[in-house]
Amino acid sequence: MANFETTTLAADLAGDVTPLMAQYLAIRHAHEGYLLFYRMGDFYELFFADAAKAAEALDIALTKRGKHLGEDIPMCGVPVHAAESYMEKLIRKGFRVAVCEQVEDPALAKKRGSKAVVRREVVRLVTPGTLTEDALLDARASNILAALGRSGSDFALAAADLSTGSFWVAALHEREIASELARVRPRELLVPDGLLAHESLGAVLKACRAALSPLPSSRFDSAHGERALTAHYNIAALDGLGSFSRAELSAAGALIAYLELTQKGKHARLARLKRVAPSHFMAIDAATRRNLELTETLSGTRGGSLLAVIDRTVTAAGARELAARLAAPLTDVKAIEARHVSVGLFANDSELRRRLRDALRTAPDLSRALARLSVGRGGPRDLANLRDGIGAARSLRDSLTQIVLQGEAADAAEAIVQNVAHVSRLADRLELLLVDEPPYLVRDGGFIKANVHAPLDELRTLAHESRRVIAGLENQYRQAAQVTQLKIKHNGILGYFIEVSQQHGDRLMAMKDLFRHRQTMAGAVRFSTDELANLASRIAESAGAALDLERALFDEMTALVLEHEEALGQIADALSVFDVSVALAELAVAARYVRPSLDNGLGFRITRGRHPVVEAALRAENARGFVPNDCDLSPNSARNGKSARLWLVTGPNMAGKSTFLRQNALIAILAQMGSFVPADAAHIGIVDKLFSRVGAGDDLAAGRSTFMVEMVETAAILNQATAKSLVILDEIGRGTATYDGLAIAWAAAEHLHETNKSRALFATHYHEMVALCERLGAMACVTMKVKEWNDTIVFLHEVTSGAADRSYGIHVAKLAGLPLAVVERAEEVLRALEEGREGHQPLARIDDLPLFGASAPAPKTCMVEEALRTVEPDALSPKQALEILYDLKRKLP
């Protein structure tokens, strides 16, 4: 079967090829790597290998059509009106699609000769990062296209969301790339093709979950990039935008050029290129994000993530903004406080919150509507969305008149006031012309109100009148032909026609002056008349003319929208800021969060902190409440008489170590993203980088050995963490033999303490490490409190000073239902090992211990069981039975 990636066009055209197939092959060969959706009438058809792939991916029938070089041509097709949902499926499965349309009227092609083929062109390349249609997008998630540019050893990542128009670029060191990709999470990543073979970067790029689009390095040329940018913004020189490095130009230019390529020259709306510095954000690498389950859980679901627990937004744009903020906590105290101030203000005024949320709920997705209109894929519904969005902004503005705002909400309100005034002419026009709920597509018509445009009204009346006259004709013809069952009907092929049953056909046939025969069916005969044909063509003409008029009005409104693109974009942004700010206030009130205080010091003091997700889960289960815990890593803390920035956390499994570690990391993230935090009080010196690692075993990474993964990740921390960082190490070293693991954990703790000097929480099951607390001046030991009770243990989930005296591993095993014999044997082995510590030879001692099976003491059986075994119920009188029962009851432990 022809496979276009391996054959040439010339080879495919050899032999007997129809003109249509020749056109297909030429277009298909020009778009390697894409499935070609080839428009034929009401269908997009796919041929050859494309057809086989699509039929399988879409689960649709694979048929054939004609022959090529002696073999059947496989074919499948999707109807045009349903094409979006099929495309969505294909994109999700990793395909890219080239959409090829008929670009001339088939009637024109016919004039060129009977063999002439309708001209067709690819009008768009659909790739994961360049989607704008609602059907192809997740409303509450952004859809980012990124490009990694390079100039010598400098790198830069440019990123854009075509569906909303945001666009920025960041200069990067090679070692920052992984963390930046983890923050941005592009859906599609453009890279110079050479980079994929790059020793270390290649792996980083393949590990990021984006669809990779390698492009020739020439596309990443920085001079080229500069030209693409000046052309895109229609400016003479870039100076107006700011100064950009060569790597930045390379990335941003490649991205713009790719947009033009995929949009086939349609000018995508992009905001002014912004420059961001990675140091504006708390650095959080991919492993930490995954491990802390920020936007999705380890199993890949949104439910159960931090985002799901804190999201109280009421608009899709607000949800996207909240997710973006969670992905990128800030490091600038002023900027963070501007967010906190607004949240605090709304948290104190429930009535204001209610009013704002009511207004916000009526706001549709402005940015996505705007983006579609700007690339020529918009429809009347998008215009209505802008109208309603402006309306929502107006009512929001009106409910703010009595309020003195502060922080970012004050800026957002200012933006709304100014820009709403700016777009008032546009708003009036949209309100005047558009019906309440217009259709999605222009070609459906009917989206312009009645009585707002005289020529349109006239055409509509004409069509309406003609329909009325046709209805009148029916009666007239019934009388003329003396057939009471005569009917005037309409269908898509004949248009209007007169129908009578077979038995009356001859009567109408005879009236040749009036009725013209059109069609004889089984049981019915169809006719037309001059008058009917006239009226029908008048209806068709006026309907066509009306649609043309509506189309012209649509174009006029769209042009007006594009003139106000910037103001509309700012309104959209301001609305999403309000949504996020009010939503965070709502959360703070509902879940009892407090405003954290921040500065540039090294403090970290959390009073009665809680884990937001575990707390919410316990609440949902109606279980007992979450136990709050303090954490103080500040230089002036005084735990056990010394200030400790590194806490060694010991305690049995299930006692709450991991929960405690994570809750403190999450509190730092929430604070710096601008949210309140789940605690009674929190003081945090800005965290520049956050690291979180879990010892292998909890997290089964694919491919590499889990211990290798653990060590690679630990190495990254020890190489990168600074005194301003917050580090969370949860049972590292667990993935290898005891002594190795202990040695590694030990050395890592020393390095963190002596060299990195980061604030850190270190959970371990190696009790031996407690000895470090005496040696290391800034390390303190804490433990999870447990209560022993009747030979079993109860977890209190409380953090206290000191170290766990034992691991209780065997207790936990017992709770889990390990057979009693195994538990008892383990206790023996443990005793032997512990005596061994005091200088004996533990393993030799264990060898001496009798094995079960061979000579192990028979497992203790309980007295009740023993007593029951001797009882013969059939031989007992009722009185004896009752006595035995009393006896048994006494024997119960």
Which residues of this chain interact with ligand ADP, rule CB under 6 A? 614, 626-627, 651, 653-659, 797
Distance CA 760, CA 725 (A): 8
**Pair 185, 128: CB distance under 8 Å:** no
Q: Which residues, at least 6 apart from 795, have a Cβ–Cβ distance to it below 8 Å?
A: 652, 654, 655, 656, 784, 786
Cα–chain center distance at 749 = 36
- Minimum CB distance to ligand ADP, residue 591 (Å): 15
- Minimum CB distance to ligand ADP, residue 626 (Å): 4
- 376 CB burial (10 A radius; 0-12, 13-18, 19+): middle
The entry of Mg ion, ligand ADP, none that residue 655 binds, CB within 5 to 8 Å by partner kind: ligand ADP
| Beta carbon nearer to ligand ADP, 768 or 866 | 768
**Pair 213, 254: CB distance under 8 Å:** no
| Beta carbon nearer to ligand ADP, 288 or 653 | 653
| Beta carbon nearer to Mg ion, 130 or 658 | 658
| Beta carbon nearer to ligand ADP, 462 or 654 | 654
| Beta carbon nearer to ligand ADP, 258 or 808 | 808
- Minimum CB distance to Mg ion, residue 730 (Å): 6
| Beta carbon nearer to ligand ADP, 504 or 797 | 797
| Tokens standing for residue 543 | 């309907």
The entry of ligand ADP, Mg ion, none that residue 659 binds, CB within 5 to 8 Å by partner kind: ligand ADP
- Minimum CB distance to ligand ADP, residue 880 (Å): 49
The entry of ligand ADP, Mg ion, none that residue 728 binds, CB within 5 to 8 Å by partner kind: none
| Beta carbon nearer to ligand ADP, 343 or 631 | 631
Part of the chain binding Mg ion (CB under 5 A), chosen from 25-33, 118-126, 506-514, 658-666: 658-666
Cα–chain center distance at 311 = 14
Distance CA 300, CA 295 (A): 9
**Pair 716, 363: CB distance under 8 Å:** no
- Minimum CB distance to ligand ADP, residue 784 (Å): 6
Cα-Cα-Cα-Cα torsion 374, 375, 376, 382, nearest 10 degrees, comes to -50
The entry of ligand ADP, Mg ion, none that residue 656 binds, CB within 5 to 8 Å by partner kind: ligand ADP
| Beta carbon nearer to Mg ion, 658 or 725 | 658
Distance CA 536, CA 467 (A): 8
Which residue's CB atom is positioned nearest to ligand ADP? Answer: 656
Q: Which residues, at least 6 apart from 833, have a Cβ–Cβ distance to it below 8 Å?
A: 842, 846
- Minimum CB distance to ligand ADP, residue 610 (Å): 7
Measuring CA to CA, which residue among 494, 495, 497, 644 is closest to residue 486? 497
The entry of ligand ADP, Mg ion, none that residue 797 binds, CB within 5 to 8 Å by partner kind: ligand ADP
- 365 CB burial (10 A radius; 0-12, 13-18, 19+): buried
Alpha carbon distance, N-terminus to C-terminus of the chain: 79
Q: Residue 634 interacts with Mg ion (CB under 5 A)? A: no
- Minimum CB distance to Mg ion, residue 863 (Å): 39
DSSP classification of residue 771: G
- Minimum CB distance to ligand ADP, residue 855 (Å): 36
User: Quick count: other Cβ atoms within 10 Å of Cβ 133?
Assistant: 15
- Minimum CB distance to Mg ion, residue 269 (Å): 48
The entry of Mg ion, ligand ADP, none that residue 577 binds, CB within 5 to 8 Å by partner kind: none
- Minimum CB distance to Mg ion, residue 669 (Å): 19
| Beta carbon nearer to ligand ADP, 282 or 696 | 696
Three-state DSSP class for residue 670: helix
Part of the chain binding Mg ion (CB under 5 A), chosen from 498-506, 656-664, 682-690, 736-744: 656-664
| Beta carbon nearer to ligand ADP, 651 or 685 | 651
| Tokens standing for residue 302 | 């949104």
| Beta carbon nearer to ligand ADP, 276 or 654 | 654
Part of the chain binding Mg ion (CB under 5 A), chosen from 257-265, 655-663, 806-814, 817-825: 655-663
Residues in the chain: 893
Please give the helix or strand (H or E) that residue 672 lies within, else none: helix 657-673
Three-state DSSP class for residue 603: coil
- Minimum CB distance to ligand ADP, residue 627 (Å): 4
Q: What is the longest distance spanned by two Cα atoms in the chain?
A: 124
| Beta carbon nearer to ligand ADP, 429 or 765 | 765
**Pair 473, 531: CB distance under 8 Å:** yes
Part of the chain binding Mg ion (CB under 5 A), chosen from 90-98, 455-463, 567-575, 654-662: 654-662
Q: Which residues, at least 6 apart from 471, have a Cβ–Cβ distance to it below 8 Å?
A: 488
| Tokens standing for residue 412 | 């957002």
DSSP classification of residue 625: P
Part of the chain binding Mg ion (CB under 5 A), chosen from 124-132, 355-363, 613-621, 650-658: 650-658
Distance CA 608, CA 626 (A): 11
Measuring CA to CA, which residue among 97, 75, 265, 233 is closest to residue 167? 233
| Beta carbon nearer to ligand ADP, 317 or 655 | 655
| Beta carbon nearer to Mg ion, 302 or 806 | 806
- Minimum CB distance to ligand ADP, residue 789 (Å): 17
The entry of ligand ADP, Mg ion, none that residue 626 binds, CB within 5 to 8 Å by partner kind: ligand ADP
Q: Residue 658 interacts with Mg ion (CB under 5 A)? A: yes
The entry of Mg ion, ligand ADP, none that residue 389 binds, CB within 5 to 8 Å by partner kind: none
**Pair 776, 635: CB distance under 8 Å:** no
Q: What 3 state SS string does 139-187 have?
A: CCCCCCEEEEEEECCEEEEEEEECCCCEEEEEEECHHHHHHHHHHHCCC
Part of the chain binding Mg ion (CB under 5 A), chosen from 366-374, 512-520, 657-665, 807-815: 657-665
Distance CA 771, CA 756 (A): 20
Which residue's CB atom is positioned nearest to Mg ion? Answer: 658
The entry of ligand ADP, Mg ion, none that residue 654 binds, CB within 5 to 8 Å by partner kind: ligand ADP
- Minimum CB distance to ligand ADP, residue 848 (Å): 34
- Minimum CB distance to ligand ADP, residue 809 (Å): 11
Measuring CA to CA, which residue among 625, 682, 514, 584 is closest to residue 356? 584
| Footprint of Mg ion (CB under 5 A) | 658
